[in-house]
Amino acid sequence: MSEPIYLDFAATTPVDDRVLQAMLPFFSDNFGNPSSVHRWGQRAERALEQARRDVAEVLNCEPAELIFTSGGSEADNLALRGTALAVREATGANQLVTTPIEHDAVLSTMRQLRDHFGFSLALLPKRWSTSSDPRLQLRPVRWFLKTWNCSPLDCRILA
Ligand SMILES: Cc1ncc(COP(=O)(O)O)c(C=O)c1O
């Protein structure tokens, strides 16, 4: 019988050997917490900051613009809550738009922002989320302008 082929790289992948080799010391000898003030922690912090500079160079951004997270759900939470709360504070915008086909980490965060932080939340119809027809791409914009009864100038889309 032939071997099955793994086709779920959107969920997780094997770690590249170069990454594995670079990381191995931090699972054994250099195990310090980079927030700790002792020498193990300081060594880990230096390595973390070097990694931040390396990634920033590849992405052509400032190291301070990079936030490392433990995974996708944490990144979704941080990006959505951080953006929604900061933009509302700066501009008063209070409306969130997303699609029903998002990952649960996105949908749950959006619902929490609605239920506990007072945002209004619109879910676009599923067929618009999945269509590749460019003619449908303006529909979501028209839809929420109509739903919230506002002009394009009134509307600031958060997510
Ligand atoms: C958009 C999105 N958010 C969150 C996750 C979950 O990531 P994690 O298991 O690292 O929390 C995935 C995984 O596929 C994802 O695609």
126-155 average pLDDT score: 65
CA of 18 to the centre of ligand 1 (A): 23
Q: Is 157 a residue whose pLDDT tops 60?
A: no
Judgement on whether residues 79 and 42 belong to the same structural domain of the protein: no
Q: Could you tell me the CATH number of the domain that includes residue 93?
A: 3.40.640.10
CA of 158 to the centre of ligand 1 (A): 20
Give the residues surrounding ligand 1 with Cβ less than 6 Å away: 10-11, 71-73, 76, 103, 105-106
3-state secondary structure of 33: coil
Atom of ligand 1 nearest to the CA of 102: 1
Judgement on whether residues 82 and 140 belong to the same structural domain of the protein: yes
- Write out the residue range of the structural domain in which residue 46 sits: 17-65
Q: Is 35 a residue whose pLDDT tops 80?
A: yes
CA of 40 to the centre of ligand 1 (A): 31
For the chain, what is the domain count? 2
Atom of ligand 1 nearest to the CA of 76: 3
Residue 61 covered by a domain:
yes
Residue 110 covered by a domain:
yes
* Residue 83: count of CB within 10 angstroms of its CB: 13
On whether the CB atoms of residues 123 and 99 are closer than 8 A, the answer is: yes
For residue 10, the model assigns a pLDDT of: 83
Judgement on whether residues 56 and 122 belong to the same structural domain of the protein: no
Judgement on whether residues 60 and 76 belong to the same structural domain of the protein: no
Judgement on whether residues 83 and 117 belong to the same structural domain of the protein: yes
Mean pLDDT of the chain: 87
Q: Is 57 a residue whose pLDDT tops 80?
A: yes
Q: pLDDT tens, 67-107?
A: 999 999 999 999 999 999 999 999 998 999 888 889 999 99
Q: How far apart are CA 82 and CA 79, in angstroms?
A: 5
